[in-house]
């Protein structure tokens, strides 16, 4: 029996994506490095080649982190008025840590949603 004939139970794209798991079987990790996707799933054989999240995850992570950090910066500034060096000491590491922590799961979510919705590269219609 080939891998293509096997039916898999549907996996929630949010569970698979945020858990960085294969969007088809939900059993194995999709990353071989920090953000490098494996070529295929060793469990179900799904080819990860066509699944490309591009810059979408970076945009969403930057947006989410900026709202969180800027909100906290304004709250701390108006509540306590700390010096500029203390702001830098607090917010630069927080920004880096939040960005790095969110990037993998958000990219995994984008990959899982691409697989679930069978998203493909746009093509112009002939004629």
* pTM recorded for the entire structure: 0.86
Q: d(Cα 93, Cα 83) in Å, to the nearest integer?
A: 17
Summarised one tens digit per residue, pLDDT across range 39-83 is 999 999 999 988 888 899 999 999 999 999 999 999 999 999 999
In 3D space, the residue among 105, 106, 77, 109 whose CA is nearest the CA of residue 91 turns out to be 77
* pLDDT for the residue 2: 42
* pLDDT for the residue 5: 56
How would residue 4 be classed by pLDDT, with cut points 50, 70 and 90?
A: low
In 3D space, the residue among 16, 65, 61 whose CA is nearest the CA of residue 41 turns out to be 16
């Amino acid at each position: 029996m080939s891998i293509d004939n096997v039916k898999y139970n549907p996996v929630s794209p949010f569970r698979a994506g945020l858990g960085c798991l294969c969007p088809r079987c939900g059993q194995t990790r999709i990353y071989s490095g920090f953000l490098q996707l494996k070529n295929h799933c060793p469990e179900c054989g799904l080819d990860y080649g066509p699944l490309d999240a591009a810059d979408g995850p970076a945009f969403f992570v930057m947006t989410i982190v900026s709202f969180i950090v800027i909100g906290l910066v304004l709250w701390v500034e108006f509540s306590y008025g700390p010096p500029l060096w203390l702001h830098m000491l607090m917010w630069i590491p927080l920004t880096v840590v939040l960005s790095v922590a969110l990037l993998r799961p958000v990219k995994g979510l984008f990959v899982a949603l691409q697989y679930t919705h069978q998203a493909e590269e746009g093509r112009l219609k002939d004629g």
